[in-house]
Structure 1
Amino acid sequence: MNKRKSLILALLIFTAGLVISCTEGEDGDNSNKPRARGASGEILLVIDSLKYKGPVGDALKGIFEEDIKGLVREETLFDMRKVDPRSMTRILKMAYNIVYVTTFDDKKPGSRMISNQFSPQSKEKAAADPSLFMLRNEDEFARGQEVVYLFGNNEEDLINNLRKNKEKLQNLFEVRERNRLGEVILSRTNGAVQTKGEEILGLDLTVPASYQFVKEEENFLWARQPTPTTKRADISLIFYQTDYTSEEQVFPENLIAFRDQILKTRVFGDPEKPNSYLETEKQIVPSFRNMEIDGHYAIEMRGQWKTHTISMGGSFVSYAVVDEAKGKLYYLEGFLYYPSETHKKALREIEAILMATKFPEAPKTKSKL
Structure 2
Amino acid sequence: MMHKTLQPICNAALLLCWLIVMTACTDDGALLPKSGGKPYEVVVTGNTEEAVRAVSTLLGALTVAGLPQREPTFDISQTTKGIGQATKYARSIINVNIDPEMTGKTRMSHRLDVYAKPQIVINICSPSARQLTTDIRSRQDDIKGIIDRFELEAGITRLSRHRNIKAEKAVKKMFGDVQIWIPEELTAMKKGHDFIWLSDNGKSAMRNICIYTYAYDNVTLPEGAARKRDSVMRKNIPGETAQMFMTTVHSPAPTARTTQHNGRRTMELRGQWVMKGDIMGGPFISRCLIDSTKQRITVAEAFVYAPGTAKRNIIKQLEAVLYTFK
TM-score normalised by structure 1 residue count? 0.72
Q: Distance in 1 between matches of 2:322 and 2:139?
A: 26
The gaps in structure 1 that reach 5 residues or longer are: 1-26, 106-119, 359-369
Equivalent pair of 2:52/2:79 in contact (CA under 8 Å): no
Equivalent pair of 2:51/2:98 in contact (CA under 8 Å): no
Letter in 2 for 1:138: L
The answer as to 2:64 corresponding to 1:68 is yes
**Structure 1 counterpart of 2:299:** 331
Q: Mark the CA change 1:91 to 1:28 in structure 2 (over 3 Å): closer, same or farther.
A: farther
**Structure 2 counterpart of 1:38:** 37
Letter in 2 for 1:354: L
Letter in 1 for 2:137: R
Say how many residue pairs are matched.
299
Q: Distance in 2 between matches of 1:154 and 1:239?
A: 51
**Structure 1 counterpart of 2:220:** 249
Q: What is the Cα deviation at residue 82 of structure 1?
A: 1.1
**Structure 2 counterpart of 1:266:** 236
1:141 pairs, out of 110, 115, 120, with 115
**Structure 1 counterpart of 2:309:** 341
Q: Distance in 2 between matches of 1:161 and 1:258?
A: 44
The answer as to 2:199 corresponding to 1:224 is yes
Q: Distance in 1 between matches of 2:189 and 2:114?
A: 45
Equivalent pair of 1:187/1:208 in contact (CA under 8 Å): no
Q: Mark the CA change 1:323 to 1:134 in structure 2 (over 3 Å): closer, same or farther.
A: farther
Matches within 5 A, 1:8-157: 30=29, 32-47=31-46, 48-54=48-54, 56-62=55-61, 66-85=62-81, 88-105=83-100, 123=102, 127=104, 130=105, 133-155=107-129, 157=131
1:150 match: secondary structure: strand
**Residues 57-98 of structure 1, C-alpha deviation per residue, up to 9 Å, x if partnerless?**
433334xxx111111211111211111135x53131111211
Equivalent pair of 1:320/1:330 in contact (CA under 8 Å): yes
**Structure 1 counterpart of 2:208:** 236
Letter in 1 for 2:172: E
**Residues 272-305 of structure 1, C-alpha deviation per residue, up to 9 Å, x if partnerless?**
x222110012344323334443232322222221
Q: What is the Cα deviation at residue 46 of structure 1?
A: 0.8
Q: Mark the CA change 1:229 to 1:189 in structure 2 (over 3 Å): closer, same or farther.
A: same
Letter in 1 for 2:38: A
**Structure 1 counterpart of 2:278:** 310
RMSD value over aligned CA atoms?
2.7
Q: What is the Cα deviation at residue 186 of structure 1?
A: 4.1
2:122 match: secondary structure: strand
**Residues 180-218 of structure 1, C-alpha deviation per residue, up to 9 Å, x if partnerless?**
233334423223322221222121121122223532233
**Structure 2 counterpart of 1:190:** 164
**Structure 2 counterpart of 1:215:** 190
Q: Mark the CA change 1:199 to 1:75 in structure 2 (over 3 Å): closer, same or farther.
A: same
**Residues 294-328 of structure 1, C-alpha deviation per residue, up to 9 Å, x if partnerless?**
23232222222111112211221112222334432
2:88 match: secondary structure: helix
**Structure 2 counterpart of 1:366:** none
1:278 match: secondary structure: strand
The gaps in structure 2 that reach 5 residues or longer are: 1-25
Q: Mark the CA change 1:46 to 1:28 in structure 2 (over 3 Å): closer, same or farther.
A: farther
Q: Mark the CA change 1:235 to 1:164 in structure 2 (over 3 Å): closer, same or farther.
A: same
Equivalent pair of 2:59/2:140 in contact (CA under 8 Å): no
Larger radius of gyration: 2
**Structure 2 counterpart of 1:19:** none
Q: Mark the CA change 1:289 to 1:167 in structure 2 (over 3 Å): closer, same or farther.
A: farther
Q: Distance in 1 between matches of 2:277 and 2:203?
A: 25
Q: Distance in 2 between matches of 1:181 and 1:149?
A: 23
